[in-house]
Chains A and B, each alone.
Chain A
Amino acid sequence: MVGSGGPSDDVPTTGHEWDGITEFNKPLPRWWLWTFYATVIWSIGYWLAMPAWPLVEGYTRGLLGYSQRAVVAERIADSRAMQAQYVEQIADASLEEIRADPELLSFALAGGRSAFAVNCSQCHGSGAEGSVGYPNLNDDDWLWGGSLEEIAFTIRHGVRNESDEDARFNEMPAYGRDELLEPEQIEAVVRYTMSLSSGEGTAAEGEGATIFAEECATCHGEDGKGIVELGAPDLTDAIWLYGGGYESIRAQVENSRGGVMPNWSGRLPPETIKQLAIYVHSLGGGT
């Protein structure tokens, strides 16, 4: 910066000098400086107005009393207030009425979807696709009935739980574990059952058919098509809760598994259960 006639001649120095080298005094631009002062003043105001300083216990609340938790609570309350008109209508309406009203239907589907994601997806999957032992809710096979009312009942009371007297309940005997049938007999009845599903089992097939008629038909029906009132699955269709292969069916006949579902009445408000029923029914299984 040092040159004859250059700007250095006019620029004041700080007065510091090291071995003949001096330092220019070039102040901050004015707008920068004032902005800096303004931020200092602003921060003091902010400390006073807003929650700012941590204390040994708690923190300074600030004069405005602002709290993010309060804001969240307020927003949730606002949302609830906005939803209230629909929720009230849903509380008063029957499931069929909700389904017939496009506005209520779309509200119930949205509400049911989010309630499903929070409460149901852990077992049934986020797409309600189920898993081994957990029913797929998208298909048309319903162990306890797929009508709106039946679905709502299952959600309210659950399956095989001990906390609701009205819970859906059945229990298949464990033919192997409890030694109700000989291993060869189990083999025969499993073979017969598999033939039912593949459509070839209509003809009586010796020992297996006899055992099926004696032991299984009471619940699964003589034709193996199941009885919805008992929650006994249809053995002739393509859907198998615990797997349709020989090993899977044999394991079921020997040890008899049965899933448990909690009762949701008491855990969720009735309006939410209605929305869940509408949503689950809409997944395509409902018949």
Chain B
Amino acid sequence: MIAAPAQPETADVGRIDVEPVNAAERRPLYEKRAKIFPRAVSGRYRAVKWAALAAILGLYYILPWLRWDRGPNAPDQAVLIDFPGQRFYLFFIEIWPQEVYFITGLLIMAALILFLVSGIAGRVWCGYACPQTVWTDLFMWVERRIDGDRNAQMRLDRAPWTWRKLSKRAAKHGAWLLIAVGTGGAWVFYFADAPTLAAALARFEAPTVSYLFIGLLTCTTYLLAGHAREQVCTFMCPWPRIQGAMLDEHSMLVTYRRERGEPRGSHKRGQSWEGRGDCVDCKACVAVCPMGIDIRDGNQLECINCALCVDACNDIMDRVGRPRGLIAYDTMAGLADPSAEDASRPVWRRLRLLRPRTLLYAVSIVLVGAVMLATLVSRGDTEMAVLRDRNPLFVQLSDGSFRNGYTVKIQNKRHEARRFRILAEGLPGAHLSAVGGGSDDIPVGPDRLRTLRVYVAAPLPATPEAVTPFDIVAADLATGERFSHATTFRRAE
């Protein structure tokens, strides 16, 4: 270690009285959960986390209020999951129930992107974007506004029940519940026209199911972000278990540089740094950890890689006059080879982005994305389905000819009413008729599905085989577009 000259701006750093309650070897299995009082911290990663929090909460609350003009016969909400109408609207995309594979594709994409990001940058999802992290952060911020920082919170926790404590507790839980209600309240706007529902909610005239879901999400938000907190990540979430398979020695993670920090010990101003590590054992990293671990014990399942300990340690290093980055983002490979000539470069410059793992994820993402895009672009706005009757398979008419029954469905995904003519093609001499009127002018409402019963009768010479394939065609009377569906005509052997 380099001996550093005493610097006037460096200061003594005290030791914080804190135990990493979730440190692996100290956690008895049957003990009551020890409460964690993370200390407030500021720094680069805290700032990034605030920005991510603002962006994610903003998105969540604003999205249902965005409008998107789809013409007169469709809702104008940009993102709307319309269960009664059986439609999913996402900006310019409109999904019918039978196209639910788009949702499946989106979920597959999301999973693959999560894999890719984890493979390269570790648990950034856990640390910055997971709703559990975001809402817990928000709840902790509220807690600090009311109860004060770590020490004040601990004092209050130990204090007997006085009016002051009662009022503080009431304020905190009240604020939490308000946020929780707001969370549930925003959720239901995704499932109905937001302004209409908001007005109905305020007048207590909204459907019961809206209040039910607000209540449900209020409970989960309040419990998970207010009380369960790190237990959700440690005990409930499957992702910390799965992600072990996504990480390797080139994945970025928050880590303590042991060879630089050890041997640790307290340090008085002016003392030599010769023969000792940079870690002054101030336990600032432990005090700020929302998961209650000691990052100096190495990578642990509990660690969500939120990097708050990085901010805390950098602050201490500045104060004692040592270089930053004792706790930092690095890769296992980078740690194992500290002598590499470029170890001083920031970790994202040293990341090995091209690995079989990342290539596989990236190619899969591109593939799934391309398939989905191609399907989305090429899907028609009119679809037709023909279901032939199975009981009876065919009917013999008095002149000896045969007739088959079909159920024809025409899906008009355009937001305008249309008229169709239904024909049978590929069956010479066939006669097609629709139940309840002619087959020449069939109106189909805007964004509607029309179901028709159709009979096709064909004289014997037209059907030399017992089963004859042919097409039922719907022709748009206005545009002349033709949509056909293959089916078969059957007769007795």
A residues near B (Cβ < 8 Å) are 7, 10-11, 26-27, 29-30, 99, 102, 105, 109, 125-129, 136, 138-141, 234, 237-239, 282, 284
Q: Which 3 A-B pairs have the closest CB atoms?
A: A127-B391, A237-B398, A129-B392
How big is chain B's contact interface, by range? 20 to 34
Contact partner, A129, options B29, B391, B400, B455, Cβ 8 Å: B391
The secondary structure that dominates the B interface is: loop
Q: Beyond A105-B436, A140-B398, is A127–B392 a contact (Cβ under 8 Å)?
A: yes
Give CA–CA (A128, B400) in the complex, Å.
Answer: 19
Contact partner, B395, options A10, A234, A284, Cβ 8 Å: A284
Q: Which of B30, B390, B403 has the most CB of A within 10 A?
A: B30
Whether the Cβ atoms of B391 and A27 lie closer than 8 Å is no
Chain B residues, Cβ within 8 Å of A105: 436
Whether the Cβ atoms of A136 and B395 lie closer than 8 Å is yes
Chain A residues, Cβ within 8 Å of B453: 282
Q: Which of A29, A138, A141, A237 has the most CB of B within 10 A?
A: A138
Q: Beyond A105-B436, A284-B455, is A126–B391 a contact (Cβ under 8 Å)?
A: yes
The secondary structure that dominates the A interface is: loop
Give CA–CA (A138, B435) in the complex, Å.
Answer: 13
Whether the Cβ atoms of A99 and B436 lie closer than 8 Å is yes
Contact partner, B399, options A99, A126, A238, A282, Cβ 8 Å: A238
Contact partner, A138, options B392, B398, B399, B400, Cβ 8 Å: B392
Chain A residues, Cβ within 8 Å of B391: 125-127, 129
Give CA–CA (A140, B402) in the complex, Å.
Answer: 11
* Number of A-B contacts defined by CB within 8 Å: 58
Residue of A nearest to B394 (CB): A138
Give CA–CA (A109, B437) in the complex, Å.
Answer: 14
Q: Beyond A138-B392, A284-B395, is A27–B400 a contact (Cβ under 8 Å)?
A: no
Contact partner, B436, options A128, A136, A237, A282, Cβ 8 Å: A282
Give CA–CA (A239, B396) in the complex, Å.
Answer: 7
Whether the Cβ atoms of B396 and A139 lie closer than 8 Å is yes
**13 A–B pairs (Cβ distance < 8 Å), ordered by A:** A7-B28, A30-B32, A109-B435, A127-B392, A128-B392, A139-B395, A140-B398, A237-B398, A238-B400, A282-B436, A284-B395, A284-B403, A284-B405
Whether the Cβ atoms of B400 and A237 lie closer than 8 Å is yes
Residue of B nearest to A233 (CB): B398
Residue of B nearest to A140 (CB): B397
Min CB distance B118 to A, Å, is 31
Whether the Cβ atoms of B392 and A234 lie closer than 8 Å is no
Can you name 4 extra interface pairs (CB under 8 A) apart from A26-B30, A237-B400, A238-B399?
A125-B392, A126-B391, A127-B392, A141-B398
Contact partner, A238, options B29, B389, B398, B436, Cβ 8 Å: B398
Give CA–CA (A141, B400) in the complex, Å.
Answer: 11
